[in-house]
Each structure stands twice: as C-alpha cells, then as structure tokens.
Amino acid sequence: MSETQDLKDFISGALVVDKPVGITSHDVVSFIRRGTGIRRAGHTGTLDPRASGVLVVLIGPSVRLSQYLSASDKRYQAIIKFGVATDTYDTEGKQVGETRSVDHITEKEIQALLQSYEGKVQQIPPAHSAVKVDGEKAYEKARRGEEVEIEPREIDVYNLELLEWVSPEVTIDVYASSGTYVRSLANDMGNDLGVGAHLVGLRRTKNGQFTLRDAVRMRELHDAFAAGDWYRHLIPAAETLADWYTIELTPEQVEKVKYGHRIPAKPDESGMARALTQQGDLIALLEVVEDSQEWHPCKVFVTT
C-alpha cells in the first residue's frame, strides 16, 4: 500500500453535492469514489434521477454517521401539475384517467389545502418506490403489474408554502421529516382537489443542516479532482453533526472513550451527543445510560 493510500485511510468527512437532473445518487457516489480514490463512500438520502439539489456524500470512517444524517429533515421546492394523474405520481409514469380542467381552482383553495397537510400526518408511499413489501421493493411488483398495498406511515410536515400558482402548475416549498414522499403529496393534492396531479419538478434545497449554499456543483468538483485540491470542499466529520449536543473531552476522557469506557454525565444531560477533542476532532457518539447517568460510547471514530 502506498504512502498516499495510507493517508487516504485517515480522510473522513462529507462532500455536499448539488446533484443535477439526469443521474442517480449512486452515480454521484461512484464519481466521488473515482475522483478521491477512496472506496468507502455513501450518500445519506436518495434523490431520484429527475430530482436535483443537495446530496450529502460521506467518505471514509464518516460513513458510519449515515444513519443519523439520513434521518435528518429535508426541504424541497416542488413543481406540481394539476389536471393529470400518473401511476408513478411523476412524469415517468403513464397517465391514469382523463385530463381534467383546473380552471376552477384558486390560489386560496390551494393554500388552504397545504395548511391542512401540516403537522403529523399519515402518508402512503408511492407504489413505484423502494419501500419493501413482502421482502421485495414495491416498484418491482408495480412494474410487473401486481397490486401493491403499502401501509401508511407517519411523517411530520413542518411547513408547506405556496410560492407560485400559474395554472395548471403550482410551485411549493416543502419542509418535512425524513421519509416524506413529495410525489405522494402531489398525488394527494390532485385527489383532494378532484382533478388529479403529478410531480413535474423537484429540487432539494436542504438536507439536515446543509443547504444549497454548502453544495458544490459536479463540474467544479470534477475540476478539483483534476487539480488535486478537492480537500477544500471536504466538510470535517465533526461539522456534519454541528447541531448536536456537544461534549468536549479532556485528554484523559479521550483515552477512556476510545477504548469504549463510559464517562460521567451531568444530572441534566440526556439523549445523544457528539464527543470532540479539545482540537475539535470527532472522537465518538455518546448516549446517556440513565440508570448510572453516564455517557456510553455507541460509536467510536478513532482506532485503539
């Protein structure tokens, strides 16, 4: 193994990419693997090929943070077309039913409908989705023409804002919990208005704490790989959870935590926290054990 490769083994962090329309999230991960020479990489929330926007790709040991970043809240700008429903709830599918007039729909009516969707609600994911049904992805069954029954799941819709209404299309801002299907939202709106609808455009503007301001375009990243200075776009592992409760460890505590030993927690501390060195490096994720009021290292990011 070369000295360069040895150094790459210690690189850990996130690249926030502005994914363009037309490629898969996996394509972006493969692109980053080739450009960095680091095989250990993965994204934290799939964007469909026809969607664009914020895609967080973790590299190196940081991939172990994926389950936490994947569960982060998301924000989108969505364009929904009324009057036509499709079986996939987007432009990829076949039209379902006839084309309906939307001349009677008003902006006020749409705003009222959006407000009714806010809060904790039950949503049924699309049949053409990767949700597992009987051990198989739902879209595989749907493509074979089989009936697909997916149980509704609870999501939390924090805010829905109407940005523009130019009949027959509406542009909305969607801020919701992880697991929300904007395609299902479009289909539900069409059903509730009695005219049908489908998603025609989607751009993710925020994933957890990361926004489009943090994202780098593929072309810019390509040039950085060629120049060998792509590291300037790398967000340190500790910063990927910057919104977490933080504990700064003493050198003695670092030694304990990296070997999996617990450290005392304050009486008012609970839940989970990121543990950093005094230099700001991520050492571990900790979780309070309430019985003993101690911090337990549930993920350690330094080798012993």
Mind telling me the catalytic residues?
48
Secondary structure string (H, E, C) spanning the chain: CCHHHHHHCCCCEEEEEEECCCCCHHHHHHHHHHHHCCCCEEECCCCCCCEEEEEEEEEHHHHHHHHHHHCCCEEEEEEEEECCEECCCECCCCEECCCCCCCCCCHHHHHHHHHHCCEEEEECCCCCCCCEECCEEHHHHHHCCCCCCCCCEEEEEEEEEEEEEECCEEEEEEEECCCCCHHHHHHHHHHHHCCCEEEEEEEEEEECCEEHHHCEEHHHHHHHHHHCCHHHHCEEHHHHHCCCCEEECCHHHHHHHHCCCCEECCCCCCCEEEEECCCCCEEEEEEEECCCCEEEEEEECCCC
